[in-house]
């Protein structure tokens, strides 16, 4: 019923829009003739007075009467012509008005009956949840309802966790992964997913909880490149650059040359080289910062991350010779969804580390991986 009311309202609005110009009446017959008649009548009266007072002769008066009569006849003829012309468009406008009022709803109704589905019943949320199709939002709601009624369905939590992560609902994703880990048999991939989500939740920092998840993943699956990489990254972030470099080198040595994680490892090594050349340069939050971030709410953690990133940006302006700091700044702005600042940071970093040098090439590789458009190149 609501649909039909909406259709009727829209149809009426369209008809009004089309009819308004036609409703403008044709130019009415001018009242000029009546005015002219009064003027000429006054002129004749004045002529009579002048003749009576002897101001003009009878011959002059007769000539003036003839001239006034001719003017009156001319005005009368003009009035008849105006009446004749104005009648035609008025009739035409009435025809168009009728056509518009009838044709607009007829055409709209015909199109709807042909292309629409007038007999399709309303679909409340429950009906749509029964057939969500490819609608991710509906699929998530459906799964959430299922898990609310079946909280011990570990497989359900496992399915929902990466979906939450892709939607950047990191707190929900962490909770889903933890439930999956608790309810399902130990699995290296599952612990790895939990570790990566914890890193995303912390704005790129490998927290203690993330380290524990990757350690468990490595225990379940030795030679696990994902776990080994993030555990090495944790060492780099905590300042153990030599141990991190040794772990990176070992991972790179045993990895196939075409392995998808090799470019990431090489970039991490390039970042470490930049830190070792300038070990006093600012770049990473310390262990206390990381620990504090884990005890904050999601909103407070986000504000803390923004503050840390802004502080890093300011320090890099004073001391730009910090390659690792630049890579972290660019990545942090991307995580914060501030593409403009990420591109600006990349531009400033490349001014310090030219694109034709190894570190500049690493910056460009990072930018491409993060989906940033590099100035001077086609996207």
Give residue 122's pLDDT band: very low, low, confident or very high (50, 70, 90).
low
pLDDT of residue 246: 93
Of 108-122, 150-164, 203-217, least confident by mean pLDDT is 108-122
Are 366 and 359 a contacting pair, CB within 8 Å?
no
CA–CA dist 76, 112 (Å, integer): 55
pLDDT of residue 176: 95
pLDDT of residue 271: 74
306-363 confidence digits (pLDDT tens) = 777 888 888 888 888 888 788 888 888 887 888 889 899 999 999 988 888 878 888 8
- Does the pLDDT value for residue 139 go beyond 70? yes
CATH assignment of 123-185, given 1.25.40, 1.20.272, 3.40.50, 1.10.3470?
1.25.40
Give residue 81's pLDDT band: very low, low, confident or very high (50, 70, 90).
low
pLDDT of residue 269: 86
Q: What is the mean pLDDT of residues 150-177?
A: 92
Q: SS3 of 356, please?
A: coil
Q: What is the mean pLDDT of residues 144-158?
A: 91
The tokens of 346 are what? 């990349």
pLDDT of residue 195: 94
Domain boundaries, the chain: 2-115, 123-185, 203-370
Are 173 and 190 a contacting pair, CB within 8 Å?
no
Burial-class residue 96 by CB neighbours within 10 Å (0-12, 13-18, 19+). Answer: middle
pLDDT of residue 379: 42
Residues of the chain above pLDDT 90, percent: 23
CA–CA dist 339, 372 (Å, integer): 8
What are the b/e assignments for 293-312, b being 16+ CB within 10 Å?
A: beeeeeeebeebbeebbeeb
């Amino acid at each position: 019923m609501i649909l039909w009311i909406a259709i009727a309202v829209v149809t009426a609005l369209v008809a009004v829009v089309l009819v308004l110009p036609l409703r403008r009446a044709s130019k009415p017959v001018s009242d000029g003739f009546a005015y002219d008649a009064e003027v000429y009548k006054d002129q004749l009266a004045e002529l009579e007075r002048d003749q009576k007072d002897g101001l003009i002769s009878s011959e002059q008066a007769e000539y003036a009467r003839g001239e006034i009569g001719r003017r009156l006849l001319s005005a009368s003829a003009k009035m008849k012509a105006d009446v004749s012309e104005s009648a035609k468009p008025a009739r035409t406008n009435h025809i168009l008005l009728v056509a518009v009022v009838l044709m607009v709803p007829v055409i709209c109704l015909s199109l709807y009956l042909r292309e629409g589905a007038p007999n399709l019943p309303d679909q409340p949320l429950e009906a749509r949840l029964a057939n969500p199709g490819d609608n991710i939002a509906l699929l998530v709601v459906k799964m959430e309802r299922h898990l609310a009624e079946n909280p011990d369905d570990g497989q359900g939590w496992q399915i929902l966790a990466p979906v939450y992560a892709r939607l950047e609902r990191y707190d929900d994703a962490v909770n889903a992964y933890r439930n999956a880990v608790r309810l399902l048999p130990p699995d290296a991939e599952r612990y790895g997913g939990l570790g990566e989500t914890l890193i995303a939740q912390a704005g790129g920092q490998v927290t203690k909880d993330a380290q524990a998840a990757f350690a468990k993943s490595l225990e379940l699956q030795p030679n696990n490149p994902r776990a080994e990489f993030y555990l090495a990254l944790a060492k780099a972030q905590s300042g153990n650059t030599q141990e991190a470099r040794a772990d990176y080198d070992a991972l790179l040595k045993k990895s196939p040359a075409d392995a998808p994680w090799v470019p990431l490892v090489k970039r991490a090594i390039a970042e470490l080289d930049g830190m070792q050349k300038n070990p006093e340069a600012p770049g990473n939050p310390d262990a206390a910062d990381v620990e504090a971030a884990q005890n904050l709410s999601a909103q407070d953690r986000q504000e803390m991350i923004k503050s840390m990133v802004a502080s890093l940006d300011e320090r890099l302006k004073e001391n730009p010779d910090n390659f690792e700091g630049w890579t972290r700044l660019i990545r942090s702005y991307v995580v914060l969804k501030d593409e403009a600042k990420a591109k600006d940071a990349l531009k400033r970093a490349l001014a310090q580390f030219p694109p034709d040098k190894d570190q500049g090439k690493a910056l460009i590789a990072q930018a491409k991986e993060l989906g940033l458009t590099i100035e001077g190149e086609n996207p």
